[in-house]
Amino acid sequence: MIIDEFFDRCLERIRTKAIVVPPLDGAMRPNNLLDESEVILGGIKCPDNAIVINDELWFSSKNQLFKLNVDARSDPQLIEGFEADISCMAASPDKGIAIGLEDARLLTGRTEGQALVDLVDHEALGCPSAMTFSSDGRLLVCQGSKNIENPTDMTRDLMQHGRSGSVWTHDFATGERSCIARNLGYPYGIVALSHSDEILVSECWQHRIIKLSLQGNRKPEAVFNDIPGYPARMIELSNSGLMLCLFAPRNRLIEFVLREHEFRKQMIDTIDPAYWIAPTLKSTQNFLAPLQQGGVKVMGIHKPWAPSLSHGMMVRLDQSQSPVESYHSRANGQRHGITSCCQIGHRIFATSKGDDCIIELSMNPGGQA
Amino acid sequence: MRSRINLSKLRYNYIPDHILGEVLTKRWADNIVPITVFAITVVILANLIPGFLSPQSLSDAGRQMGEFLIIVCGVSIVMIAGGIDLSVGSIYAICALIAVAVVNLLEWPVPIALLISVLVGSLFGALNGYLIGYLKLRAFLTTLITFVIGRAIYDIALDYLGTPIQLSWVDSALWDFIGDGSVGLIPVSFIFATIVLVVAHVFISRSRRGWHISAIGGSRRSAFNTGIDVKKVVCSTYVISGACCGIAGFLFGARLNGTGPGTGIGLEILVLTACVVGGISLGGGRGSIAKGVLGGLIVLTINNSLIRMGYHSGTNQMVLGIMLTLAVILDIRWLRNRHKVLDKVYVAPVYTSMNEPVSALPEDKTVYALNSRLSETELIGAGEVEGPEDVILDHDDHLYCGSRHGDIVRFFAPDYKKWEVFVHIGGFPLGLAFDRNQTLMICVGAMGLYSVTPDRQVERLSAETNRSYLSVIDDARLRDPNDLDIGTDGKIYFTDSTTRYDAHEWAIDSVENRPTGRVLVYDPKTGKTRTLLRRLNYPNGVCMAHDGESFFFAESWECRVNRYWYRGAQAGRLETVIRDMPGYPDNINRASDGCYWMAWLGMRTPTYDLMLKKPGARRRMTRRLPQDDWLFPNINTGGVVKFDEKGNILEALGDLGGKHHPMVTSMREHKGYLFVGGILNNRIGKLKLSDADPAWTSSTSYWGASD
């Protein structure tokens, strides 16, 4: 095994340097389930980080916090607006809420009906990208990167080969804050597994999910490698499986650009980030966005399997973190940039940050949440 | 920074990388390796061995070479058919012995000796051929057996005939002349060899049977399925090989007037090495007599030189073995990977620096700002016509366009719901123009310039221009004729966009960005085509200016429009009228208000512009990524732009959502409407123009009112 790896490493220098990405096969086989799923809320700007409080769906949209009753089919209710955009949120079992803002503020409070009460400002933490509460009431926060100001700028971190992300625990009782993992490639999703002190973190730029211990005394262990996309938030399902959101696909051209240092530096320096060769959230962009040959519309058709900088994808994992099934919106789809999801009862909802809507997943006949 | 750019420019724009790919497309490319090896060998040996290149030395070498090349020729033919012949050494020895015996002991005439020698060789070959061709035995084992038996026969015969031959004495001037004589400095055996080789070359490369041999070597089963008598042809190759051994044996006999126990030993290895080193594939199907000759020259030269330098015969064998091994490895690797290598190295990008364009974003409100007017078009033939690169209308308002199936499709006025295939040409019909008599002139991608009369007579006007002397690729042929227009002098001015890529790969030409396009002129009086302008970066649309002396043409990858004066006081003047556009221009046509319409096939993107400055990165991209993943110009958004005589931009129409016309390659104004086509679209759009002259047509603008 070790010898094999050694040989591989030696041979890599001699072999043609073909750039490959993991294939979408097996449980990852593409389908159109995301496009076929029902939109329960459309026309909302960049919905992100859905959480569940009191069986209601709370989500952020830019700098605003909304609440949506998924059964009533009513308009979402505005809870509060902040000065800066909300970058992540978490709900605790006792109706508590934690909010990370793009200006590095970290708020905690409680929810009461339509309002947030007892909001407390905590010590600032730059670039919070995901958070959750552990079973013992501590707050776990992912810091995406030390090198960028806020998560909106995350592709810059990717293009700079960012490996400065970290995971922190926050004990409100003692006010103690400690780091349990560092030097991560943009941690963008976190789950504290129930019935254990293990934490799963999605490491975006490394395309993997790693397992940490709450005490921070264990080396991160990769439990799901070679994910064919950029993993974002994940949640633990009621059957102790996981639901993982991938906000963009892996793309060979992006991987190529990541190895082209001169080109990449000049791209960062001279081009608007919206037009970079980098993962994006939106399915439609204007004509200044890069195009790959496979993405050329021929005879009015945009091939679903065309290389794309964005897509929509969710993967259900079993208890051992192996993929079981997946939900896709392919290159020609319109539910791209899925960044978070939540479960209410047996129903699963997801936010399409790229295409401005919240959808309810129509599950596969075989799949049960 | 600047020096770095210059360095990059120097490296990629002046070192002709593209020639490598072009050479690899040639069939003779395989011979380059053996020729180089031979040249190097000669240079080294000429330095090591004094007098190596002296006439006497060459003449001596030529004598032996003659015999050797004849055998190589026979084995080459066997190998091209996919076989192998190990028995040549034995047959050669037997034939030599028989020739000597016939002349010395029987004292028959020399030509009879040649005949008998060839006959015996052919008989042995026929034995091989029968066993291999008809009884389907393995060529390797069969010829190995013939080799052993032949050797045994020879040894026994030599026991009986050796002494009498040595004791006999014959006086034949012809026999001596063939053995020792020369015509000038050229030994007789070499003349024999030349005749045999020329005949064999013509046979293999020009005759029906020769092609059958190559076909069987390439794929035995397919050859059988096409009706070739495989058994007979395979058998015949061994007969030929045997006959060649007969000729060579006869020459050997004449040269030494006797044979010895060592005659022909190790010859088969030498010959086999020669064939493989020359580049004849062991698998069959690929090879030529020329390759065999090259290999023969290399092997025998090295072999003889080693002997002359006094090396032990073991060294000699070792060198042969190493050469054979290397040649076999190279052969197999090359055969398997040649097309891959070609795929990888063909695209040879150059450095191009584009100036910052004027924005075309609607919110920037520039002259180029695109809107979504083109999404309001009424669709014609949606889903029925594929790839209408250009559109044109005739006197009766019928609409014509090309299709990617090689058809010219006609939609009937007034509603354009019904359509027919007007004519089928083939290729990919692109630019269209009507002449004075309503004859349709067409640039057909991958084919040339064609005309179609109103009664559907198709005529090829031109498929070639003058060849330039230094081009590896045959640039006389029209590879991507793109758009045309007819001048007031009656000549047809048209563009051939690239010499490097076929019409359907037009967008890849942009990744390379090497200016190889041309503007050509066809003169109907002489029927000749001439190159007017060259080194253009994808010249595309052509449109005659209203002044009757000049035309506009678009240079797509440079995002500019040029004007060229072809007659009048300013004839020969070339001027760029529009530059640094945010889109890639395609066809240009006249507008009713004295201005011009220009189509944009796609838009520039900041990343692609940056990539154009990085030829090295582009080169790596083409080698390391599959084509589908290459960065392309954004040809999912196009538009139509109107400009005046001076090059001022007046109006820009777009389809930002890509609803009707994601890309636009042509537009034609006709009676107050604009008809829009796109090479990758499956529809034609018809847009009402509010301020256009409702009576104006392009034909009247060119040729006056019709009668």
User: Which one-letter amino acid corresponds to residue B386?
Assistant: E
Q: How close B689 comes to chain A (CA, Å)?
A: 24
Contacting residues for B694 by C-beta, under 8 A, at least 6 apart: B671, B672
CB-based contact B625 A256, cutoff 8 Å: yes
CB-based contact B610 A271, cutoff 8 Å: yes
pLDDT score of A188 more than 90: yes
CB-based contact A291 B636, cutoff 8 Å: yes
pLDDT confidence tier of residue B1, bands split at 50, 70 and 90: low
Domains and CATH numbers, chain A: 22-360 (2.120.10.30)
Q: How far is the C-alpha of B495 from the C-alpha of B431, rounded, in Å? A: 9
Distances B106 to B177, B248, B503 between C-alpha atoms, Å: 19, 20, 71
Q: How many CB atoms lie within 10 A of CB B706?
A: 12
Give chain A's count of helices (H) and strands (E).
5, 25
pLDDT score of B256 more than 70: yes
> Does any CB of chain B come closer than 8 Å to the CB of residue A300?
yes
Task: Pick from B371, B385, B624 the residue to mutate for testing the A interface (most A CBs within 10 Å).
Answer: B624
The residues that bridge with B443 in the sheet, in sequence order, are B449
Task: Pick from A264, A284, A288 the residue to mutate for testing the B interface (most B CBs within 10 Å).
Answer: A288
Average pLDDT rounded to a whole number, residues A111-130: 86
Identify the residue whose tokens are 């360095």.
B7
**B607, B617, B624 ranked by CB distance to A276: nearest:** B607
pLDDT score of B133 more than 70: yes
Q: How close A74 comes to chain B (CA, Å)?
A: 31
Measure CA B668 to chain center: 37
Average pLDDT rounded to a whole number, residues A182-192: 94
Question: Considering only CB atoms, which chain A residues are within 8 Å of B603?
Answer: 287-288
A112 SS3 class: strand
Cis, peptide link before residue B414, omega less than 30° from 0:
yes
Identify the residue whose tokens are 């045997």.
B242
CB-based contact A288 B624, cutoff 8 Å: no
**Per mean pLDDT, which range of A66-80, A312-326, B630-644 is the poorest?**
A66-80
Q: Which residue of A has its CA nearest to B628?
A: A294
Q: How many Å is the maximal CA-CA distance in chain A?
A: 64
CB-based contact A288 B635, cutoff 8 Å: no
**Per mean pLDDT, which range of A3-7, B262-266, B282-286, B421-425 is the poorest?**
A3-7
- A173 compared with B337, residue with greater pLDDT: A173
The two beta strands, A106-112 and A115-122, are: antiparallel
Cβ–Cβ under 8 Å, residues A66 and A74? no
CATH class for the domain made up of B21-324: mainly alpha
Cβ–Cβ under 8 Å, residues B257 and B162? no
**Over the stretch A64-100, which tens digit does the pLDDT of each residue have?**
999 999 888 788 999 999 999 999 999 998 889 999 9
Identify the residue whose tokens are 């380059």.
B32
Q: Please report, in angstroms and rounded to a whole number, the separation of the first and last CA atoms in chain A.
A: 37
**B386, B624, B634 ranked by CB distance to A287: nearest:** B634
What pLDDT is recorded for position A7?
64
Q: How far is the C-alpha of A293 from the C-alpha of B631, rounded, in Å? A: 6
- The backbone torsions φ and ψ at residue B659, rounded to the nearest 5 degrees and listed phi first, read -70, -50
Question: Considering only CB atoms, which chain B residues are within 8 Å of A289?
Answer: 605, 634
Q: Where are the beta strands (DSSP E) in A76-158?
A: 77-81, 86-91, 96-101, 106-112, 115-122, 128-133, 139-143
**Over the stretch A329-343, which tens digit does the pLDDT of each residue have?**
999 999 999 999 999
pLDDT score of A13 more than 60: no
Size of interface A-B (CB pairs under 8 A): 114
**Over the stretch B664-679, which tens digit does the pLDDT of each residue have?**
999 999 999 999 999 9
pLDDT confidence tier of residue A365, bands split at 50, 70 and 90: very low
> Does any CB of chain A come closer than 8 Å to the CB of residue B653?
no
Q: In what order do the strands lie in the sheet with B550-555?
A: B539-544, B550-555, B560-565, B574-578
* Torsion angle of C-alpha atoms B529, B597, B594, B684, degrees rounded to 10: 90
pLDDT confidence tier of residue A195, bands split at 50, 70 and 90: confident
CA atoms within 13 A on the CB side of B306: 16
pLDDT score of A135 more than 50: yes
Question: Considering only CB atoms, which chain A residues are within 8 Å of B353?
Answer: none
CB-based contact B631 A291, cutoff 8 Å: yes
Average pLDDT rounded to a whole number, residues B558-573: 94
pLDDT score of B176 more than 90: no
Question: Considering only CB atoms, which chain A residues are within 8 Å of B620?
Answer: 256, 260
- B361 compared with A217, residue with greater pLDDT: B361
Tell me what the pLDDT averaged over chain B comes to: 90
CATH number of B362-703: 2.120.10.30
Question: Considering only CB atoms, which chain B residues are within 8 Å of A251?
Answer: 629
Question: Considering only CB atoms, which chain A residues are within 8 Å of B628?
Answer: 292-294, 306-307
Cβ–Cβ under 8 Å, residues B656 and B374? no
User: Which one-letter amino acid corresponds to residue B235?
Assistant: C
pLDDT score of B13 more than 50: yes
What pLDDT is recorded for position B242?
96
Q: What percent of chain B has pLDDT over 70?
A: 99
Q: How far is the C-alpha of B50 from the C-alpha of B57, rounded, in Å? A: 10
pLDDT confidence tier of residue A19, bands split at 50, 70 and 90: confident
- The backbone torsions φ and ψ at residue B47, rounded to the nearest 5 degrees and listed phi first, read -80, -30
**B624, B658, B682 ranked by CB distance to A17: nearest:** B624
B323-330 own/partner pairs: CB under 8 Å, 24+ apart? B323/B273, B323/B277, B323/B299, B324/B269, B324/B272, B324/B273, B324/B276, B324/B277, B327/B273, B327/B276, B327/B277, B328/B276, B328/B282, B330/B33
Alpha helices by DSSP H, listed for B257-288, are 267-278
The two beta strands, A77-81 and A86-91, are: unpaired
Measure CA A247 to chain center: 6
Distances B481 to B296, B337, B408, B462, B492 between C-alpha atoms, Å: 45, 32, 16, 10, 12
**Per mean pLDDT, which range of A199-213, B318-332, B587-601 is the poorest?**
B318-332
Q: How far is the C-alpha of B182 from the C-alpha of B59, rounded, in Å? A: 9
Identify the residue whose tokens are 């990717």.
A158
B318 SS3 class: helix
Q: How far is the C-alpha of B414 from the C-alpha of B428, rounded, in Å? A: 27
Q: How far is the C-alpha of B316 from the C-alpha of B323, rounded, in Å? A: 11
> Does any CB of chain B come closer than 8 Å to the CB of residue A10?
no
CB-based contact B607 A293, cutoff 8 Å: no
- B334 compared with B706, residue with greater pLDDT: B334
B650-655 own/partner pairs: CB under 8 Å, 24+ apart? B650/B367, B650/B595, B652/B360, B652/B367, B652/B368, B652/B369, B652/B370, B652/B371, B653/B370, B653/B371, B653/B373, B653/B374, B653/B687, B654/B360, B654/B370, B654/B371, B654/B372, B654/B373, B654/B374, B655/B372, B655/B373, B655/B374, B655/B375
- Bin B594: left if φ > 0, else alpha if -120 < ψ < 50, else beta: left
Identify the residue whose tokens are 């070790």.
A2
pLDDT score of B32 more than 90: no
Cβ–Cβ under 8 Å, residues A107 and A101? yes
Q: How far is the C-alpha of A290 from the C-alpha of A304, rounded, in Å? A: 17
What pLDDT is recorded for position A366?
46
User: Which one-letter amino acid corresponds to residue B166?
Assistant: Q
What pLDDT is recorded for position A10?
64
- A176 compared with A12, residue with greater pLDDT: A176
What pLDDT is recorded for position B473?
78
Q: How far is the C-alpha of B184 from the C-alpha of B186, rounded, in Å? A: 6
Identify the residue whose tokens are 């075989």.
A366
- A2 compared with B455, residue with greater pLDDT: B455
What pLDDT is recorded for position B182?
83
Secondary element (H or E) of residue B40? helix B32-48
Average pLDDT rounded to a whole number, residues B92-113: 91
**Over the stretch B432-488, which tens digit does the pLDDT of each residue have?**
999 999 999 999 998 999 999 999 999 999 988 888 887 787 888 899 999 999 999
Cβ–Cβ under 8 Å, residues B465 and B529? yes
CB-based contact B607 A19, cutoff 8 Å: no
The residues that bridge with A130 in the sheet, in sequence order, are A142
Measure CA B277 to chain center: 24
What pLDDT is recorded for position B305?
86
Q: What percent of chain A has pLDDT over 90?
A: 73
pLDDT confidence tier of residue A158, bands split at 50, 70 and 90: very high
The residues that bridge with B578 in the sheet, in sequence order, are B561
Q: How far is the C-alpha of B142 from the C-alpha of B153, rounded, in Å? A: 16
Cβ–Cβ under 8 Å, residues B291 and B278? yes
Domain boundaries along the sequence of chain B: 21-324, 362-703
pLDDT score of B340 more than 80: no
Q: How far is the C-alpha of B123 from the C-alpha of B249, rounded, in Å? A: 14
Q: In what order do the strands lie in the sheet with B492-496?
A: B481-486, B492-496, B517-523, B528-536
Nearest alpha-carbon partner for B540 in B583, B571, B570, B572: B583
> Does any CB of chain A come closer than 8 Å to the CB of residue B629?
yes
**A252, A263, A307 ranked by CB distance to B617: nearest:** A263
What pLDDT is recorded for position B11?
82
CB-based contact A306 B628, cutoff 8 Å: yes
Nearest alpha-carbon partner for B273 in B238, B221, B231, B318: B318
Nearest alpha-carbon partner for A245 in A319, A314, A307, A326: A314
Q: What percent of chain A has pLDDT over 70?
A: 94
What pLDDT is recorded for position B336?
73
* Torsion angle of C-alpha atoms B150, B152, B153, B158, degrees rounded to 10: 120
**Over the stretch B39-66, which tens digit does the pLDDT of each residue have?**
988 898 888 888 777 877 787 788 888 8
pLDDT score of A369 more than 50: no
CB-based contact B681 A252, cutoff 8 Å: no
Residues B563, B566, B568: CA angle, nearest 5 degrees: 110
Output DSSP code: residue B14: I
